[in-house]
Amino acid sequence: MSATTTGSTETGPDRDRVRLHDAVIRFAGDSGDGMQLTGDRFTTESGLAGNDLVTFPDYPAEIRAPAGTVAGVSSFQLHFSDHSIHTAGDAPDMLVAMNPAALMKHMGDLKPGGTLILNSDEFDERSLAKAGAVTDPREDGALVDFTVHEVGLTSLTLRALEEDVASGAITKKDAARCKNMLALGLVSFMFSRPTTGTEAWLREKFAAKPALADANVKALRAGFNYGDTTEAFTFTYEVGRAELPPGRYRTISGNQASAYGLVAAAQRAGLPLFLGSYPITPASDILHELAKLKHFGVTTFQAEDEIAAMGSAIGAAFGGALAVTTSSGPGIALKTEGIGLATMYELPVLVVNVQRGGPSTGLPTKTEQSDLLQALFSRNGEAPIPVVAAKSPGDAFDTMLEAARIALTYRTPVMILTDGYLANSAEPWRIPDVDTLPDLSAAFAFTTAPNGDDGEFLPFRRDPETLARPWGLPGTAGLEHRLGGLEKAPDTGDLSYDGANHHAMTVLRHERIARIGAQLPPLEVDDPSGDADVLVVGWGSTDGPIRAACHTLREDGRKVAHVQLRHLSPIHPDLEGIMRRYGTVILPENNMGQLAMLLRARTLIDIQAYNRVTGAPFLSSELVEVITRMAGAGLDGRGADARRDA
């Protein structure tokens, strides 16, 4: 909370209200404690209060890790502010710990001076032992730097719901499970958030079980009132509205934005959407979301495996649908052969990879950017395909439209990279005007008649500009043709085992992809002073932390430029020239230097890589430190160089 430096304190009749510019709250508890839901609700309330916000849910890979252990801790971090922000925040200002395990796991992250709310009911010897605590952190001095509020969240909840249990309306177990709502009520009070929105939401969620709705609402109000009437909470906080560009906003997660982007792309192309998918963390929510949108003409096919999901998408594309398959790294590995086939067929298929920690099963619930080289190179043979990446949860919407534009215009499979962080994080999203979305129906036209000089159909006679081949659908008389994975002759697509032809076709397949780059709008560089000599290059979800780091450095008078790539294949042709304008080029990635290796190889520019794969996104403070260390005096700008030289 930036109250001490930039906030102000108002003294009210009962207590002081501290006005903050931003705050980071982390809710942590056992997997069964409902922390994701609690965080989601607080996020919605913050969005409605006009804050800018970014969230970071973090949950264990095991659905039912042993209760009370550190392995079973689930958390949800929310950063909300009265100004534009780009990350989920570095260290939390407030930690709500529902049990000792949550405290043990997260107390190291809490800012010195931060506020800690503990569920004191859970701190018995057994729970402490399960959490791996040798001594009680409340008594061993571990919490001395924090403002600690010990609250009996469980016992308060049970007391608030005594009558509901006594009357038999709910069980004692049900009552205890409402403690997350009590915690939410308390935090809502502390941050001056009304509870009415959540009350309405609870009534709707438990419409079929009014007794549970009542209990949750009572617990929520009890928490709010507890804060209001307890002397312990002498300060409450308020975070004002952020100055976002005018428009209508909602919060959206990356997976939700991906699903909506796909629906929008299909509608703007005038095509039915077909999704073939197989459940996998963290991509399954796109399947769930699209399965609910059948009224948009969406067909979802839950295939028997990843390979079948990819195959079904190829079949649907041949039939004239906007075809999609969604997965994560291990699933993409299985789809690889199918992606190669779609490359040879030259059919538009969108392949979405919600990246997670690898290799193999790796870290299913953690984020990573380590599938970049897989996306670019995993097919056998020379099989280039376009690759695009989303920068933020809301940007996944635009990324899907761009991927569909490329796939439809150039008749090629396209890989879309998002990641676990984007997929599950939420941010305020300015709802686009539907009429201003790109018109994708202009990107293609189904072939209706033979295109050959002798009245025959030539399925590989190309558009001279885009090199796209005709898309002739089954059902159209005169266009009967056969597609295969074998090498083909020009125009006819007949099999060809001729070596010179294979070389020419390989060159052509590269050229097809290169042309996409040549037809892109110029690459934008964020260099407000125009005087920077240090360029930070990023791709995908590092956009937020890099932007925040650059912002901090600039506030401090340092000069730094930033370019974030959406197009990774082909790499934007402007990038090399841009990089050459700067003395220092820094590339942070949540992998071991994949894009850095590629750019160094292609440009021979001595790019400095910063790499971390701990399953969490970069912190902006971390990048400030990294950029400062790597750039040194370069952050003084080009003008400084000139001054030094003089």
Residue 204 found at the interface with another protein (CB under 8 A): no
Q: How far is the CB of 277 from another protein (least distance, A)?
A: 12
Residue 595 found at the interface with another protein (CB under 8 A): no
Say if residue 359 is preceded by a cis peptide, omega within 30 of 0.
yes
Residue 369 found at the interface with another protein (CB under 8 A): no
Draw the binding track, 534-573, toward another protein (x: CB under 8 A; -: no contact).
Answer: ----------------------------------------
Residue 436 found at the interface with another protein (CB under 8 A): no
Within residues 457-476, the interface with another protein by CB under 8 A covers 474-476
Of 164-172, 174-182, 302-310, 562-570: span binding another protein (CB under 8 A): 302-310
Q: At 157, is the secondary structure helix, strand, or coil?
A: helix
First CA to last CA distance, the chain: 44
Draw the binding track, 495-514, toward another protein (x: CB under 8 A; -: no contact).
Answer: x-------------------
Draw the binding track, 403-432, toward another protein (x: CB under 8 A; -: no contact).
Answer: ----------------------------xx
Q: How far is the CB of 476 from another protein (least distance, A)?
A: 6
Of 197 and 362, CB closest to another protein: 197
Selected from 205, 209, 288, 481, the binder of another protein by CB under 8 A is 481
Question: Quick one: which of 130, 128, 149, 151 has its CA closest to 140?
Answer: 128
Q: How far is the CB of 483 from another protein (least distance, A)?
A: 5
Task: Name the amino acid, one letter, at 185.
Answer: G
Would strands 73-81 and 22-30 be described as parallel, antiparallel, or unpaired? Answer: antiparallel
Of 64 and 248, CB closest to another protein: 248
Of 308 and 403, CB closest to another protein: 308
Sign of CA dihedral 617, 622, 626, 627: positive
Of 197 and 573, CB closest to another protein: 197
Q: How far is the CB of 464 from another protein (least distance, A)?
A: 24
Angle between helices 196-205 and 179-190 (to 10 degrees): 160
- Maximal C-alpha separation, the chain: 91
Of 115 and 216, CB closest to another protein: 216
Selected from 84, 120, 236, 299, the binder of another protein by CB under 8 A is 299
Spatial strand order in the sheet of 413-419: 298-302, 273-277, 322-327, 349-355, 413-419, 387-389, 567-569
Would strands 349-355 and 561-565 be described as parallel, antiparallel, or unpaired? Answer: unpaired
Within residues 322-351, the interface with another protein by CB under 8 A covers 323, 337-338, 340-341, 345
Of 408 and 635, CB closest to another protein: 408
Tell me the number of residues near another protein by CB under 8 A: 74
CB neighbour list of residue 284: distance below 8 Å, 6 or more residues apart: 277
Q: How far is the CB of 266 from another protein (least distance, A)?
A: 10
Q: How far is the CB of 114 from another protein (least distance, A)?
A: 28
Residue 298 found at the interface with another protein (CB under 8 A): yes
Residue 207 found at the interface with another protein (CB under 8 A): no
Within residues 5-44, the interface with another protein by CB under 8 A covers 44
Selected from 318, 410, 421, 460, the binder of another protein by CB under 8 A is 318
Of 47 and 357, CB closest to another protein: 47
Burial class (CB in 10 A: 0-12, 13-18, 19+), 185: buried
Selected from 267, 425, 447, 591, the binder of another protein by CB under 8 A is 267
Q: What's the token pair of residue 51?
A: 């804050």
- Given a contact cutoff of 8 angstroms between Cβ atoms, the answer to whether 127 and 137 are in contact is no
Residue 113 and residue 633: Cα distance in Å, rounded?
A: 33
Q: At 393, is the secondary structure helix, strand, or coil?
A: coil
Question: Quick one: which of 57, 49, 56, 55 has its CA closest to 82?
Answer: 49
Selected from 107, 310, 408, 630, the binder of another protein by CB under 8 A is 310
Within residues 48-77, the interface with another protein by CB under 8 A covers 48, 50
Selected from 279, 320, 615, 639, the binder of another protein by CB under 8 A is 320
Residue 282 and residue 474: Cα distance in Å, rounded?
A: 35
Of 91-99, 144-152, 246-254, 568-576: span binding another protein (CB under 8 A): 246-254
Of 87 and 198, CB closest to another protein: 198
Residue 331 and residue 326: Cα distance in Å, rounded?
A: 9
CB neighbour list of residue 350: distance below 8 Å, 6 or more residues apart: 262, 313, 322, 323, 324, 325, 400, 403, 404, 407, 413, 414, 416
Burial class (CB in 10 A: 0-12, 13-18, 19+), 2: middle
Selected from 62, 140, 305, 382, the binder of another protein by CB under 8 A is 305
Selected from 113, 132, 270, 484, the binder of another protein by CB under 8 A is 484
Selected from 480, 498, 524, 625, the binder of another protein by CB under 8 A is 480
Question: Quick one: which of 294, 297, 292 has its CA closest to 272?
Answer: 297
Question: In the block, which residue shows the tokens 């709310």?
Answer: 117
Residue 282 and residue 260: Cα distance in Å, rounded?
A: 17
Selected from 290, 313, 383, 553, the binder of another protein by CB under 8 A is 313
Would strands 73-81 and 349-355 be described as parallel, antiparallel, or unpaired? Answer: unpaired
Q: How far is the CB of 434 from another protein (least distance, A)?
A: 5
Of 114-122, 143-151, 238-246, 579-587: span binding another protein (CB under 8 A): 238-246
Q: What is the dihedral of CA 621, 622, 623, 627, to 10 degrees?
A: 100
Residue 301 found at the interface with another protein (CB under 8 A): yes
Selected from 12, 13, 108, 245, the binder of another protein by CB under 8 A is 245
Q: How far is the CB of 453 from another protein (least distance, A)?
A: 14
Backbone angles phi, psi at 546, to 5 degrees: -65, -45
Task: Name the amino acid, one letter, at 454.
Answer: D
Residue 192 found at the interface with another protein (CB under 8 A): no
Q: Give the number of other CB atoms < 10 A from CB of residue 292.
A: 11
Of 40 and 93, CB closest to another protein: 40
Within residues 270-289, the interface with another protein by CB under 8 A covers 272, 274, 276
Selected from 264, 283, 537, 624, the binder of another protein by CB under 8 A is 264
Report how far Cα 643 is from the mean position of its chain's Cα atoms.
43
Of 478 and 615, CB closest to another protein: 478
